[in-house]
Amino acid sequence: MAGRAKTKAMNVVLAVAALSGPAAAQSETNAAPFPTEITIIVGFAPGQGIDQPIRPEPGSLASLRLSPEASYFQSARFLSLNLGRFLPGSPKIQVRNMPGAGGLVAARHLVEAAPADGSVLGLAGANPFFASLNPETDLERAFRKIAYVGARTRETFLCFAWHKSILRQLDDARVYAGFAGTLGAGSRGQAHLMALNEFAGTQFRIVAGYSNTFDVSRSLENGEIEAACGYTMNLLQARHGDWLRDGKIALLARFGLAPFAWKTRVAAAGDEARDELGRQVMSVLDSEGDLVWALAAPPAISPNRLAQLRQAFDAMFIDSDANAAAYREGLVTEPLSGVDLQAEVARVYALPSEALRQVQILLDAK
């Protein structure tokens, strides 16, 4: 059974989405004209990025402090200004925020209420994917059928230690129990730390309950904790470039499927697992890096319409003007095609049920 945090979050989705009304018309035929207007619904408040729990508590909001790394609204705005040029008829694209339950409210709207003609797309992060690992409701099963258009970039999540700690590489954490800070239950950092402890033999002592990674960072600098997990490399470069430049942190382990290069070896979490179950669990957590910036379409969208959207998405990221616009916005563009993203999601869903259950345990642990 899913844990209490998952149940609470889904209850919020049910309560909010009940106001959305009945689902719109079914999938259009292949011959239908392309919509003249498209809405991208964003599952988070303006300013929110990926500094947030995977399993948010009802009514909670992630930090809205402005910081240099990209927000979901910023990513959606880039798409709204550039994607339409590559679609039939150059449709106008607008952005609508629909925050709630860590993106699950927007995801429910996408699968149950949005028209399936390509006129409504969504940026809801990776939470719908995690909610559907062990589906218990029709909504969670519907999340498994989401169609992916593509992802603006691929993220690598890092575990690292402060320079005053004796932790210099992951092997050190197998013999020394350093203190590591996290946002608490359902957070990415806690899930990663617990996975390393459970399946890779590390001994991190988890200090949970921080409100956001700003507070975790402050505690690192103050010497209250020694390590942290769940930061992306893009976040570290944007917010803490001096940590990387001046050797203030040692990178211990990484989660993610994107190619990664650093001046020292950074252990891939899956390679450090002690058995096949552990490798499977790590591979599910790795997948989040490809999903956090994914642009999604309703499950009932026609194959032809989905292909049009995917082709336009791919074309946008080889266009010099679009890439220049992304650069001006400070957006990293290492895109992943919708075809590859859909294949990755299918790979995870095909894993043994025990691996998916173990991931659920990590996400729901208190």
CA distance 180 to 189: 9
Predicted local distance difference test score (pLDDT) of residue 185:
84
Q: Does domain 157-286 have CATH number 1.10.10.10?
A: no
DSSP string, 202-241: ---EEE---SSHHHHHHHHHHTS-SEEEEEEHHHHHHH-H
Determine which helix (DSSP H) or strand (DSSP E) holds 282, and give its type and residue range: helix 276-291
What would the mean pLDDT of 37-66 be, rounded to a whole number? 64
Per-residue H/E/C for 336-360: EEHHHHHHHHHHHHCCCHHHHHHHH
Residue 21 has pLDDT above 80, yes or no: no
Do domains 4-153+293-364 and 157-286 share one topology? The answer is yes
Instruction: Supply the DSSP symbol for 114.
Output: S
**What are the backbone dihedrals phi and psi of residue 240, each rounded to the nearest 5 degrees, phi first?**
-135, 50
Beta bridge partners of 104: none
- The domain spans of the chain are 4-153+293-364, 157-286
Predicted local distance difference test score (pLDDT) of residue 69:
59
Determine which helix (DSSP H) or strand (DSSP E) holds 263, and give its type and residue range: none
Across all residues in the chain, what is the average pLDDT?
89
Predicted local distance difference test score (pLDDT) of residue 366:
74
More confident residue, 5 or 326: 326
CA distance 322 to 272: 39
Residue 31's pLDDT band (cuts 50, 70, 90): low
Residue 150's pLDDT band (cuts 50, 70, 90): very high
Owner of token pair 């669990």: 281
DSSP string, 34-88: PPSEEEEEESS-TT--S-S-SSPPTT--------SS--HHHHHHHHHHHGGGGST
CA distance 216 to 213: 5
Determine which helix (DSSP H) or strand (DSSP E) holds 150, and give its type and residue range: strand 147-151
pLDDT tens, residue by residue, 343-352: 999 999 999 9
Closest by Cα among 346, 357, 329, 358 to 81: 329
CA distance 293 to 286: 14
Q: Are 150 and 310 in contact (CB under 8 A)?
A: yes
CA distance 329 to 294: 18
Predicted local distance difference test score (pLDDT) of residue 45:
87
Residue 81's pLDDT band (cuts 50, 70, 90): very high
Q: Are 101 and 56 in contact (CB under 8 A)?
A: yes
What would the mean pLDDT of 287-298 be, rounded to a whole number? 97
Burial class (CB in 10 A: 0-12, 13-18, 19+), 340: middle
What is the third-level CATH fold of 4-153+293-364?
D-Maltodextrin-Binding Protein; domain 2 (3.40.190)
